Structure 1
Amino acid sequence: MTREVRAFAVTVLALATLGAAAGLVWSGITPRAPYQVTDQGTVLADPSTQALIAADGWFAVITGGLGLLCGGVAWFAARRWMLPVLLGLCAGGILGAMLTLWVGSTFTIGAVVVEAAAMPGVKVVPGALKLTASGVLVSWPLLAVGLFGFLEGMHGYRESPLRHPYGDPPEPL
């Protein structure tokens, strides 16, 4: 029982660590939306900006790629403890995505360039990173668990006796 718990915990902690690093990457490569500082507070300077959508897209690409990587590595590494590692992929993927969001929106990495046409005397500042499509938070655990299940299904089919129901000898590879 302790080995299963250890496999689960190591998987969750590894994905959480990757989530913190992914947040820094997301913060470094994602463009910021321009905001104007007015008497009422900050408002979006350019309503037709694509920076808000780009933040969601980059988040999905980074966390989805890590999900595929983690799912493949976990399947190859976890031959003895499949279920704890699979559950760790799910929980760790959620935790990793949440840490990516928190680290990326809290820390600013790299130079932030804001381009917007502002009226004279109006100050334009870069906005903080945030997700407008919260559904991208599930891209990491969904792709990690999906690839893990796909690889296990392919392996199970290859090793299955149902593949040769009439006792035919398997073909040489």
Structure 2
Amino acid sequence: MTAPLTPPHRPSPHDSAWPPPYSAVPKGADGADGTDGTPDVATEVRQGIVVLLAVTLAGVALGLLWLWLAPRIPLISDGKAVFLKDTEGENAVGADGTFTLLALGLGVLSAAVVFWFHRHGGIAIVVGLAAGGLLGSLLGWGLGTLLGPAHDVAEHARAVGAGVTFHAPLELKAHGAVLAWPVAAMLAHLALTALFGPRDPEPDWDDTLLSPPPPHDARP
């Protein structure tokens, strides 16, 4: 007669003490509701709000970098009208491209930082990252245009005088560029989670070992 196969160092599946009761399972730290360290809903919402605020404030860096790196559009006045000094220049397109590239870079960077501190992920954190990227883009857009050259071109031309070169206001003509940050952040966070995110634990033994052996045929 063969004894049932039981994995080493494991109690028998028919033992009433196995598995341990739910109350015996320790809770994770920092509001975790399970042994995997996953935070509860309230903690996850708080973390999502912190991510939202932090990523939004990073829009200040976007605005300052855009103001610093974006090419200027030179204008000149003859005392009656204002003209482009360089009619073949592509500085207006360059301003949009600079904003888009900066937003893409900040999107990837913010996703990497958020993943570093919150590897467990969660809906609230992902929503906070996306919403923060959008708000950060809007904040950077507004800050760059606010701190850039004056928006009243006619008044600016009168102030500098005829024949003097001055710069046009910093503008974002491709409004869809504000989506570059949240889209880049989502794609980067998804890639990082797929590559380095926590995995479900592998079973320690084959479930088939827990099944009782088939009965032996009785032979005379």
TM-score scaled by structure 1? Answer: 0.75
Determine which of 187, 200, 208 is the counterpart of 1:146.
187
Distance 1:22 1:155 in 2: 28
Q: Partners in 2 of 1:49 and 1:150 — Cα distance?
A: 38
1:96-150: CA deviations, max 9, x gaps? 00111111111149xxxxxxxxxxx533310111112222211110000111112
Q: Distance in 1 between matches of 2:189 and 2:69?
A: 28
Are 1:100 and 2:173 counterparts? no
Structure possessing the higher radius of gyration over alpha carbons: 2
State which of 127, 131, 135 in structure 2 corresponds to 1:87.
Answer: 127
Offset from partner CA, 1:7-53 (integer Å, 9 cap, x none): 12111111111101221121112221012336665443323112111
* Matched ranges for 1:1-173 at <5 A: 1-37=41-77, 42-108=82-148, 121-155=162-196, 159=199
Matching residue's letter, 1:129: L
1:61 partner letter: L
- Alignment check: 8 A CA contact 1:70 1:144 kept: yes
Query: What TM-score comes out, normalization by structure 2 length?
Result: 0.60
Q: Of the two structures, which has the highest relative contact order with CA contacts closer than 8 Å and spacing of 6 or more?
A: 1
Cα distance in structure 1, aligned partners of 2:65 and 2:172: 15
Structure 1 range deviating more: 140-149 or 47-56: 47-56
Which amino acid counterpart does residue 63 of structure 2 have in structure 1? G
For 1:84 and 1:41, the matched residues in 2 are separated by 53
Matches of 1:91 and 1:39 in 2, distance apart? 46
Does structure 1 conserve the Cα–Cα contact (< 8 Å) formed by 2:77 and 2:83?
yes
Tell me the CA shift for residue 155 of structure 1. Answer: 4.2
Matched letter for residue 91 of structure 1: A
